[in-house]
Structure formats: C-alpha cells, structure tokens
Amino acid sequence: MIADNAAQSAAVRNTRQRTAVSSLLAEVEGFHSAQDLHAMLRDRGERVGLTTVYRTLQGLADSGEIDVMRPPGGEHLYRRCSSGHHHHLVCRSCGSTVEVEGPAVESWADRVAAQHGFVDVSHTLEIFGTCKDCATA
C-alpha cells in the first residue's frame, strides 16, 4: 500500500499537449469550438486527444487564461483574450467579435448584487447585433 506522500507537491505538469493547445490559442483569432481546435491541432500534425483538448480548455478557462462564450446554438466557444475583464460584441451574421469594456457596467452589477446581499459575484454579458458590413450587404 502506498502511504499518502504529503510531500508530493501536486503541481501542474508541463506537457507537450498542454503547450500545443496554449500556443494554438495564442495564434488563432476569434472564437473557436473545442472540436475546431482539436481539428486544427491535428492539421498541424500534433497528436492530441479530443478529451485532452476539452480538459485543457476547461483548465485554462478556470484559471482565467481564456474566455468561454455560450452562444445560442449549443457549442462552447473558447478564445484567448486580452488580459483584463471585458465583454464581447458579436455579429450574428458573420461571427466577427469586438472586445468592449464597460467599467460602469461592472460596478453597476457589483452594486446591484451587493444591494441584494449577494457575495462572490460574477457576471456574463454579451451583445449581439448585425455588423455594418453584414447590414449593408
């Protein structure tokens, strides 16, 4: 039997697959689904399992390194975003996204939540519309 070796610092290991996902996200623009990213990795010649892609993305999302969006349509979309909290303005037609910031909104959300006694507050905000190009086309 193996005694629980408390000394083992269970840190995150630096693996080839994790690096691959991370660097891929650093290069691509816009949002991509997990399956998209998996396909891209395969095209690049990286052998990475789909399961691993999901796990890695979840980990990155948890640690705040990437953003997750749940558009109406079912798939989760992941994106490496500029640091700092912000939201997205998304075109319904062509899918292009613009990062927008609204400090006033952040503070409003926190204030409203606090008024109702809520703590540990987070929020999601997405703006959908039709961009100029798609509207004129």
Partner DNA sequence: TGCGTCTTTGACAATGATTTCCGCTATCCG
Partner DNA sequence: CGGATAGCGGAAATCATTGTCAAAGACGCA
Site residues for its own copies per CB under 8 A:
70, 72, 89, 91-92, 98, 100, 102, 104-105, 108-109, 112-113, 116-132, 135
Q: Rule CB under 7 A: say whether 63 interacts with DNA.
A: no
Q: Do the Cβ atoms of 94 and 131 come closer than 8 Å?
A: yes
Burial of residue 77 (CB within 10 Å: 0-12, 13-18, 19+) is: buried
Of residues 127, 125, 135, the one with CA closest to residue 93: 135
> How many other CB atoms are found less than 10 A from the CB of residue 34?
19
Q: What is d(CA 108, CA 15) in angstroms, rounded to the nearest whole number?
A: 41
Helix, strand or coil, per DSSP, at residue 31: coil
Candidate residues 28, 54, 102, 110; the one interacting with DNA per rule CB under 7 A: 54
Using CB distances below 5 to 8 A depending on partner kind, what does residue 135 bind out of its own copies, DNA, none? its own copies
The least CB distance from residue 129 to DNA, in Å, is 22
The least CB distance from residue 8 to DNA, in Å, is 5
Q: Where on the chain is the footprint of DNA (CB under 7 A)?
A: 2, 4-5, 7-18, 33-35, 47-52, 54-56, 58, 74-76
